[in-house]
Amino acid sequence: MMFRDLRLLADESLDPLLVHRLQVAGVDIQPFSRLGAPGLPDSEVLARANAEQRAVITHDADFGALVFSARQPSSGIIYIRPGHIDATFHYPTIDALLAIELVSDRPLMIVASRSEHAILIRQRPIHLDV
SS3 readout for the chain = CEHHHCEEEECCCCCHHHHHHHHHCCCEEEEHHHHCCCCCCHHHHHHHHHHCCCEEEECCCHHHHHHHCCCCCCCCEEEEECCCCCHHHHHHHHHHHHCCECCCCCCEEEEEEECCCCEEEEEEECCCCC
For the chain, the first-to-last Cα distance in angstroms comes to: 25
Let me know: does 26 contact 49? Beta carbons within 8 Å. no
Q: What is the mean pLDDT of the chain?
A: 91
Work out the percent of the chain whose per-residue pLDDT is above 90. 72
Q: Please name the amino acid found at residue 128.
A: L
pLDDT tens digits for 19-56? 999 999 999 999 987 766 777 899 999 999 999 999 99
Phi, psi angle pair for 79, to nearest 5°: -110, 115
pLDDT tens digits for 114-130? 988 899 999 999 876 64
Q: Where are the domains of the chain?
A: 3-125
* The pTM of the whole model exceeds 0.85: yes
